[in-house]
Amino acid sequence: MFRRRPTGTSEVLDTDQAAPAADSADSRPRPGVTAPKGVPTPKRSAAEANRRQPYQAPADRKTANRQARDRDRSDRARRTEAYQRGENWALPRKDQGPIRALTRDVVDAHRGIGAFYMIIVLLLIATVAIPIPIVKVVGEIVVIGLLALSLFEGWYLSVRTKRLAAERYPGQSTQGVVLYATMRNISLRRLRVPKPRVRPGDKI
């Protein structure tokens, strides 16, 4: 009624039935595991160690000083470029803040005689060498008149700046705007630092 299977046949059947199950289990992708691409996946600690660049101490004092000078030179160049662009963090205290930035924009967008003040003054100084009294007198009158006109322009630009500041930055102090606007107005446009962000005639 009950017949025993041959020992060899049972082992063969068990092996044949277990093999597909093992193959299917191995062939199923495991979640969260990246398939190898010819090389074993490195451990996280090993990958982080490879990314880290260990600090190499200078071999001698001369090398250390050279490296320090290179770092200082790079920092100064970066700060100078940021200063010329008008970035607030790189500006000296007298140029910082939204009111000073607004003043610079108002002055740089203004078309006036103040931008040529230094050139005209240098030309008039040359007239001092001319041994003609009337030329000297006229030159002095022109210099005084040009200075008065430049001061008036500086005052006018500061009034515009204060009016715009009251609209855009209420509560912000406008102390020193008159002198700041006047000094920037009589500077040559190419020599103004921070560099102008607007062109003459632009609406502020």
**Is residue 124 within 8 Å of residue 139, measured between CB atoms?**
yes
Closest alpha carbon to 51 in 59, 42, 40 = 42
| Paired tokens of 41 | 């996946």
pLDDT at residue 8, as a whole number? 46
CA distances from 130 to 113, 114, 117, 133, 139 (A): 25, 26, 21, 8, 11
Q: What is the mean pLDDT of the segment spanning 135-161? A: 88
Residue 31 confidence class, pLDDT cut points 50, 70, 90:
very low
Look at residue 125 in the predicted model and tell me its pLDDT.
77
**pTM exceeds 0.75, yes or no:** no
pLDDT digit string, tens, across residues 112-146: 888 888 888 887 777 777 778 887 788 788 888 88
Question: Is residue 33 pLDDT above 60, yes or no?
Answer: no
Could you report the per-residue pLDDT of 49-75, keeping only the tens digit for each? 555 556 566 677 887 788 788 888 888
| pLDDT average, residue stretch 19-48 | 51
CB hemisphere CA count around 33 (13 angstroms) = 7
- Answer with the residue of higher pLDDT: 31 or 117: 117
pLDDT confidence bin for 167, thresholds 50/70/90? very high
Locate the domains of the chain by residue range: 75-112+151-191
pLDDT at 9: 44
